[in-house]
């Protein structure tokens, strides 16, 4: 059978949770598919470094732009472009114009099925969902074959707010290759990483965006003691603000920001504590990776985080806005090594039992394959 031609419409293709999952699926499908990737942010393609060299993938510069004002003239260009593919996979709000184009021209012959993925919201919808976007999503998703969400919260929103039928909503929890995170981490995998005796390393993997509220984590680490070092792996527009907060807190010499680093299994285990200070999350892959590496977790209680960690770790997931409690939880873990080890061990057990990627890969393979009339989709060869 000829390889399937799959078009990916991304809000951004800098490596984050949804991009990591999309890349893992591309690598898993191997030569069963060829891929074309578009991004609403035209210079945001750092995730392509994680794509296996054997995968056939293209990043065209002459495709219709995903960003722009809604207009039928723009949407017609999408329709013509879509006809060369077997399947369209769209991701988050930044790809919604492509979804709308597929729905408005759904009666045009030769259009492939479209499956939309929603993984969360940016800071502009942190406190309250935008009603105009809700209406847009509700209508745009009308001709989508399926709507995939990773979390219970997003499944509820899709049903109650976007009015999508139960049969269209597919809740597929994120998963990873947990066995890779059981291996000993590679100390040289984080450039510039150095520790001294009695240091406690707090680490996180996050796009440097306002919604991640990384200055909150900087302040908590500064209050947790002079032996606390913070490693933030990721890139994005908020880097200067994070550095400025570290300088204000007197922590600049204990903050390491190495930028984007591929293959977290190589370095997540170098942390003593994993922290998420976000104002919004859904079902973060980075949290699963940290659990699989045997780390205790301090986090804000957003999305499905509280239900993801082990029962013993629940007390360290603090309400959003309760920054003092967040800091206190971090201090407790910094000061008690045996507690860190116990919580980390229980998190690892839960990750192994519930978040292995095998089920996730199989469900996506079946979903994509059925949409294209191929049954369960092929795997890498």
Q: Which residue has the tokens 């909503």?
A: 169
All structural domains of the chain with their residue ranges: 4-175+356-371, 178-354
CATH class of 178-354: alpha beta
User: What is the spatial distance between Cα 323 and Cα 57, in angstroms, rounded to a whole number?
Assistant: 43
Is the model's pLDDT at 213 over the cut of 80?
A: yes
Please, what CATH class does the domain formed by 4-175+356-371 belong to?
alpha beta
In the predicted structure, residue 242 carries a pLDDT above the cut 80:
yes
Q: State yes or no: pLDDT of 60 exceeds 90.
A: yes
Count Cβ neighbours within 10 Å for each residue of 295-305 and write b for 16 or more, e otherwise: bbbbbbbbbbb
Q: What is the pTM of this model?
A: 0.79
Say whether pLDDT at 380 is over 60. no
Average pLDDT over the chain, rounded to an integer: 93
Question: How confident is residue 127, by pLDDT bands cut at 50, 70 and 90?
Answer: low
pLDDT computed for residue 36 by the predictor: 98
E strands present in 134-272 = 146-149, 169-171, 200-205, 228-233, 255-259
Q: Kindly report, residue by residue over 101-122, the tens digit of the pLDDT.
A: 999 999 998 999 999 999 988 7
Strand-strand pairing, 255-259 and 297-300 = unpaired
Confidence of residue 14 (pLDDT cuts 50, 70, 90): confident
What is the per-residue pLDDT for 122? Answer: 72
Q: Give residue 137's pLDDT.
A: 96
CA distances 206 to 140, 196, 257, Å, are: 29, 25, 11
Q: Where residue 46 falls among pLDDT bands split at 50, 70, 90?
A: confident
pLDDT at 381: 41
pLDDT of residue 155 exceeding 90: yes
Query: Is residue 240 a contact partner of residue 28, using CB atoms and an 8 Å limit?
Result: no
Residue 130 has pLDDT above 90, yes or no: no
Tell me whether residue 198 is exposed, middle or buried, using C-beta atoms within 10 angstroms of its C-beta: 0 to 12, 13 to 18, 19 or more. Answer: exposed
């Amino acid at each position: 059978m000829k390889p399937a031609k799959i078009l990916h419409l991304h809000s951004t293709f800098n490596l984050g949770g949804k991009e990591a999952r999309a890349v893992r699926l591309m690598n898993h499908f191997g030569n069963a598919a060829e891929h074309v990737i578009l991004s609403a942010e035209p210079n945001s393609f750092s995730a392509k470094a994680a794509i296996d060299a054997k995968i056939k993938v293209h990043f065209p510069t002459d495709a219709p732009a995903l960003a722009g004002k809604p207009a039928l003239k723009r949407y017609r260009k999408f329709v013509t472009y879509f006809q060369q593919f077997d399947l369209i996979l769209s991701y988050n709000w930044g790809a919604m114009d492509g979804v709308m184009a597929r729905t408005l021209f759904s009666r045009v012959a030769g259009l492939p099925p479209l499956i939309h993925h929603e993984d969360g919201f940016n800071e502009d919808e942190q406190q309250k969902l935008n009603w105009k976007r809700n209406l847009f999503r509700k209508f745009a998703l009308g001709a989508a074959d399926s709507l995939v969400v990773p979390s219970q919260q997003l499944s509820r929103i899709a049903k109650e707010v976007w009015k999508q039928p139960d049969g269209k909503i597919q809740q597929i929890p994120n998963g990873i290759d947990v066995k890779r995170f059981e291996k000993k981490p590679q100390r040289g995998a984080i450039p510039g990483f150095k520790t001294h005796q009695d240091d406690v390393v707090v680490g996180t993997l996050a796009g440097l965006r306002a919604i991640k509220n990384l200055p909150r984590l900087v302040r908590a680490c500064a209050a947790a003691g002079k032996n606390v070092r913070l490693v933030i792996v990721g890139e994005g527009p908020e880097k200067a603000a994070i550095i400025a907060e570290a300088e204000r807190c007197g922590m600049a010499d204990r903050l390491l920001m190495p930028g984007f680093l591929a293959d977290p299994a190589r370095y997540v285990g170098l942390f003593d504590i994993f922290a998420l200070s976000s104002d919004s999350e859904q079902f973060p892959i980075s949290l699963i990776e940290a659990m699989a590496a045997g780390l205790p977790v301090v986090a804000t209680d957003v999305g499905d985080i509280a239900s993801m960690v082990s029962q013993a770790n629940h007390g360290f997931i603090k309400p959003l806005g309760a920054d003092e409690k967040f800091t206190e939880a971090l201090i407790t873990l910094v000061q008690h090594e045996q507690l860190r080890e116990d919580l980390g061990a229980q998190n690892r057990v839960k990750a192994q039992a519930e978040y292995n990627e095998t089920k996730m890969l199989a469900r996506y393979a079946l979903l994509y394959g059925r949409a294209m009339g191929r049954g369960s989709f092929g795997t890498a060869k």
